[in-house]
């Protein structure tokens, strides 16, 4: 059903048709109708993206294994991780925010990293990953709901808020979460055209 | 500069998931993208209606989310419930204005901007207006960009409650307001995701083509 050999690009925001052009360094393609940025010059290789994804996976592991912050008070000790914060809301009548927190700050970032590893490892072996199309659609669909950067800002606000009357110690988990946010942001810069070119390359 | 050609007028349809162009087939028979298997639609079905429905839900939930307390903090001198606005005010008065500003932007300014922006776009869609298309599309991009930042307060309440568990000295618990507030964020996100910005460019075009 697709149009063979089409070098056409559609603006997703206004449906205008454009002819694809090759972009030079620092160039961006902007829709003349609605102003949407259609494409940027990018030169990622599969190896580079795989390296970033592996680093993100490690940061995710560390960020969830070690506390984000701890408080020691009068011989008592408390600590918080992404999962313990979500778990606290999960039981009782705060199930809805608990589920939203667990899904958007833990499960979906995990799913995204796992899917990226799956897709990129096969791409590096120059093979088509089983379920590649489903994986790419899942990556596309889950993106708006994956929000570890919001958790990072929330953790910083909580630290500043509590440290006015308690001694809060930032943990290793917080640094891992910060690194994870940066790495996931880098990965989100990769345009969908790059991912879908993997389907065509191996078709 | 003349307007560029649009896909529908030349018998093509673009996939919402992967962007591949396919030949347009009557909507009566379901067709799927040959590259990613997503069901193809010329426009997202019922887009404006769904967007408006979720927006109304969000505005209704916004009232209890601001009236009801979101957190209960107990200390040596007894306990206190706080609302979102009350929390911002106490930070402001206490001199912690950067935190007050961050929470104000995420919890008040972002939802309010989304209500106004989505409301404006949907109303002009129902009126089939061709007014300020470019600016309304830019407004849609703003809504897309600020998307989920309102979840901030839910994170702060969850983390504070997880950390402050010192019975008799200091303890925090979530309160019902946070459930409604989370509902507001989810409803505005579904509302924004239901909106098909291409509809802005369809209006008032019948006379042109």
**Integer CA distances (angstroms), B85 to A76, B68, B180, in order:** 31, 10, 15
Give the closest of A88, A105, A154 to B156, CB-based.
A154
Contacts of B106 in chain A (CB under 8 A): 153
- Tens digits of per-residue pLDDT, B112-126? 999 999 999 999 999
Q: Give the pLDDT of residue A43.
A: 79
Burial class (CB in 10 A: 0-12, 13-18, 19+), A19: exposed
- Looking at A182-186, B39-43, B194-198, which range is the least confident one? B39-43
- Tens digits of per-residue pLDDT, A151-179? 999 999 999 888 887 899 999 999 999 99
- Looking at A3-12, A30-39, A181-190, which range is the least confident one? A3-12
Give the closest of B31, B103, B198 to A13, CB-based.
B198
> What is the distance between the alpha carbons of residues A40 and B135, in angstroms, rounded to a whole number?
22
Asked if residues A162 and A71 have their Cβ atoms less than 8 Å apart, the reply is yes
- Tens digits of per-residue pLDDT, B72-130? 998 877 788 999 999 999 889 988 888 899 999 999 999 999 999 999 999 999 998 88
ipTM: 0.89
- For residue B136, what is the nearest residue in chain A, using CA coordinates? A34
Q: Give the pLDDT of residue A96.
A: 94
Q: Do the strands B78-82 and B71-75 form a parallel or antiparallel pair, or are they unpaired?
A: antiparallel
Contact B3 A150 (CB under 8 A): no
**Please, what is the average pLDDT of chain A?**
90
Residue A2 has pLDDT above 50, yes or no: no
Contact B36 A136 (CB under 8 A): yes
Interface test with A, best of B16, B162, B170, B184 (most A CBs within 10 A): B162
Distance from CA of B198 to the nearest CA of A (A): 4
Contact B6 A36 (CB under 8 A): no
> What is the distance between the alpha carbons of residues B17 and B37, in angstroms, rounded to a whole number?
9
Burial class (CB in 10 A: 0-12, 13-18, 19+), A182: middle
Contacts of B23 in chain A (CB under 8 A): 1, 3
Alpha helix positions (H), A66-191: 82-90, 95-102, 108-124, 132-142, 148-162, 172-188
> What is the distance between the alpha carbons of residues B40 and A150, in angstroms, rounded to a whole number?
33
Q: Give the pLDDT of residue A1.
A: 42
Nearest to B207 by CA among B137, B136, B130: B130
Contact B34 A2 (CB under 8 A): yes
Going along chain B from its start, the domains and CATH numbers come out as 1-42 (no CATH), 45-202 (1.20.140)
- For residue A76, what is the nearest residue in chain B, using CA coordinates? B166
- Tens digits of per-residue pLDDT, B129-152? 888 899 999 999 999 989 789 999
> What is the distance between the alpha carbons of residues B4 and B2, in angstroms, rounded to a whole number?
6
Q: Residues B131, B133, B139, CA angle at the centre, nearest 5°? A: 115
Of the CA atoms within 13 Å of residue B3, those in its CB half-sphere come to 15
């Amino acid at each position: 059903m697709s149009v063979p050999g089409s070098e056409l690009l559609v603006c997703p925001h206004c449906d205008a048709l454009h002819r694809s052009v090759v972009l030079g360094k620092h160039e961006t393609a902007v829709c003349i109708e609605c102003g949407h940025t259609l494409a940027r010059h990018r030169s990622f290789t599969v190896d580079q993206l795989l390296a970033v994804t592996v680093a993100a996976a490690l940061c995710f592991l560390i960020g969830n294994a070690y506390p984000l912050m701890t408080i020691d008070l009068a011989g008592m000790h408390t600590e918080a991780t992404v999962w313990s914060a979500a778990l606290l809301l999960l039981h009782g009548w705060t199930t809805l925010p608990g589920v939203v927190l667990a899904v958007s700050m833990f499960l979906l970032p995990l799913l995204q990293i796992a899917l990226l590893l799956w897709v990129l490892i096969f791409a590096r072996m120059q093979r088509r990953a089983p379920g590649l199309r489903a994986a790419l659609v899942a990556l596309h669909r889950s993106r708006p709901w994956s929000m570890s950067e919001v958790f990072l800002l929330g953790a910083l606000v909580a630290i500043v808020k509590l440290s006015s009357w308690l001694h809060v110690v930032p943990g290793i988990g917080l640094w891992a979460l910060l690194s994870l946010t940066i790495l996931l942001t880098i990965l989100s810069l990769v345009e969908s055209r790059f991912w879908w070119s993997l389907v065509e390359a191996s078709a | 500069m003349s307007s560029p050609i649009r896909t529908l007028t030349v018998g093509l349809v673009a996939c919402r998931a992967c962007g591949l162009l396919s030949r347009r087939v009557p909507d009566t028979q379901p067709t799927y993208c040959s590259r990613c298997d997503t069901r193809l639609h010329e426009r997202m079905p019922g887009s404006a209606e769904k967007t408006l429905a979720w927006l109304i839900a969000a505005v209704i939930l916004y009232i209890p989310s601001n009236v009801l307390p979101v957190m209960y903090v107990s200390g040596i001198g007894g306990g206190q419930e706080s609302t979102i606005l009350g929390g911002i005010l106490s930070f402001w008065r206490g001199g912690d204005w950067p935190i007050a500003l961050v929470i104000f932007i995420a919890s008040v300014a972002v939802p309010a901007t989304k209500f106004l922006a989505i409301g404006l776009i949907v109303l002009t869609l129902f009126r089939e207006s061709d007014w300020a298309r470019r600016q309304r599309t830019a407004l849609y991009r703003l809504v897309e960009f600020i998307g989920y930042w309102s979840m901030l307060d839910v994170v702060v309440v969850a983390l504070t409650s997880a950390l402050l568990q010192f019975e008799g000295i200091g303890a925090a618990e979530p309160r019902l307001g946070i459930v409604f507030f989370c509902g507001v964020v989810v409803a505005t996100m579904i509302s924004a995701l239901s909106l098909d910005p291409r509809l802005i460019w369809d209006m008032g075009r019948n006379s042109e083509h």
